[in-house]
């Protein structure tokens, strides 16, 4: 969701007569005039009028992001990157300025060009790799565009937005999978998640082969029907989740979708118990980059309003070991790199984070206050905490 002022609306030629695009919404007031609130695919109408950043601007942004990442002990990222970002990551690597490893998720619209270039997942070296595609099935809970089977509790006329027709998306997924590319689909609402699982099943049926070799991913997997928790696990789909979203969502989600649906929201423990693999990340810059905040939230399920001292639906809490494993081993597996990184093992890459405290011995509440003492990537210290 974005908010555009009157100048931006005018520059993009958005008026009372402008129709909402498929998979998006141009919100209009009682007088029929656009309010400036644009949701999902409607955002692109304004985005198209914004000049692309220069190479110099993009380079500065990436270097600033790398600095932030190493401060928080991040030795590898999965980035929704375009060709410009990919080129700059490669340039930084060649000039020995890259301080974390990068796995690029390219837009699903680029699937044919990647396939024609002979790219297969994973493609690249230990520092910069690609081969994954990112698509979108729905919107977000915050903008009430996540796609649910049932209407929103606070808006009975709305069940969310489906961003791509199933037939079109399925065709794209079948072709991408056939070309050896990894598929990662954003899905928030329970219906969107169920639809993505249906499509992954259809891809396997059409193309045959082993699900484990595909490493199908659902990005977010926030709201799931109970039967889809089991189905996700049995299909070998990776639940690529961002636990810190719970910290905010848990303070208002029940008003939006009701307590019953919230029982299987951020169902970390249920997914693990059914045999699913969790891969944790941040979703930065939507939420803070610091992984310790995500670990803290996964093990306590505290919310921003402080109204759940025992945790929001505490039965879904993880142990500290489970949460850490989801961040390192889980995320390594999600990019086909579990044999190179993700654990302190002889022969693996020397990507190491040293904390200023022992997370296993401090109170859980103190995890969010812990600091990274040293970040080591490829055996080289790239960050050290000032005393």
- Please give the domain boundaries of the chain with CATH numbers for all domains: 2-47 (no CATH), 55-345 (3.20.20.140)
Do 70 and 37 meet the contact criterion of CB atoms below 8 Å apart?
no
DSSP bridge pairs for 223: 265
Percentage above 70 pLDDT, the chain: 100
Per-position DSSP letters for 149-177, written without gaps between them? SS-BTTBTT------S-HHHHHHHHHHHH
**pLDDT recorded at residue 52:** 86
**pLDDT recorded at residue 110:** 85
* In the predicted structure, residue 39 carries a pLDDT above the cut 90: no
Residue 21 neighbours by CB distance under 10 Å: 15
Residue carrying the six token digits 């990436």: 62
Which residue, among 352, 375, 348, 380, has the nearest Cα to 96 in the 3D structure? Answer: 380
**pLDDT recorded at residue 214:** 93
pLDDT in tens, 105-124: 999 888 888 888 888 888 89
**pLDDT recorded at residue 387:** 60
pLDDT in tens, 171-214: 889 999 999 999 999 999 999 999 999 999 999 999 998 888 89
Residue carrying the six token digits 């049932």: 150
* In the predicted structure, residue 65 carries a pLDDT above the cut 80: yes
Average of per-residue pLDDT values in the chain: 94
């Amino acid at each position: 969701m974005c908010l555009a002022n009157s100048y931006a609306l005018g520059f993009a030629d958005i008026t009372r007569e402008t129709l909402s695009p498929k998979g998006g919404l141009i919100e209009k007031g009682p007088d029929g005039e656009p309010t400036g609130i644009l949701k999902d695919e409607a955002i692109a109408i304004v985005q198209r009028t914004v000049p692309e950043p220069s190479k110099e601007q993009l380079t500065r942004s990436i270097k600033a992001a790398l600095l932030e990442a190493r401060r928080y002990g991040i030795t590898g990222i999965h980035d929704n990157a375009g060709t410009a970002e990919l080129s700059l990551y490669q340039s930084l690597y060649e000039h020995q300025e890259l301080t974390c490893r990068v796995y690029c998720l390219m837009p699903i619209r680029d699937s044919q060009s990647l396939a024609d270039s002979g790219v297969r997942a994973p493609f690249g070296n230990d520092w910069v790799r690609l081969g994954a595609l990112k698509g979108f099935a729905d919107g977000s809970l915050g903008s009430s565009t996540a796609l649910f089977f049932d209407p929103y509790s606070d808006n009975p006329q709305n069940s969310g937005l489906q961003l791509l027709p199933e037939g079109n998306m399925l065709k794209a997924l079948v072709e991408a999978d056939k070309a050896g590319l990894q598929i990662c689909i954003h899905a928030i609402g329970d219906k969107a998640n169920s639809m993505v699982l249906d499509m992954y099943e259809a891809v396997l049926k059409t193309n045959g082969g082993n699900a484990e070799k595909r490493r199908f991913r659902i990005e977010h997997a926030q709201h799931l029907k109970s039967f889809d928790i089991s189905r996700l696990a049995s299909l070998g789909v990776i639940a690529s989740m961002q636990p810190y979203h719970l910290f905010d969502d848990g303070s208002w989600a029940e008003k939006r979708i009701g307590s019953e649906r919230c029982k299987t929201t951020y169902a970390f423990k249920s997914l693990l118990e059914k045999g699913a693999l969790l891969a944790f990340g941040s979703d930065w810059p939507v939420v803070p980059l610091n992984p310790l905040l995500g670990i803290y939230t996964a093990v306590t399920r505290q919310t921003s309003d402080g109204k759940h001292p025992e945790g929001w639906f505490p039965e879904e809490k993880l142990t500290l070991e489970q949460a850490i494993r989801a961040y390192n081993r889980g995320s390594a597996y999600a990019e086909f790199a579990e044999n190179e990184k993700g654990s302190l093992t002889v022969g693996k890459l020397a990507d190491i984070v040293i904390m200023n405290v022992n997370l296993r011995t401090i109170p859980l509440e103190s995890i969010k206050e812990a600091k990274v003492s040293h970040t080591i990537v490829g055996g080289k210290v790239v960050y050290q905490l000032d005393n």
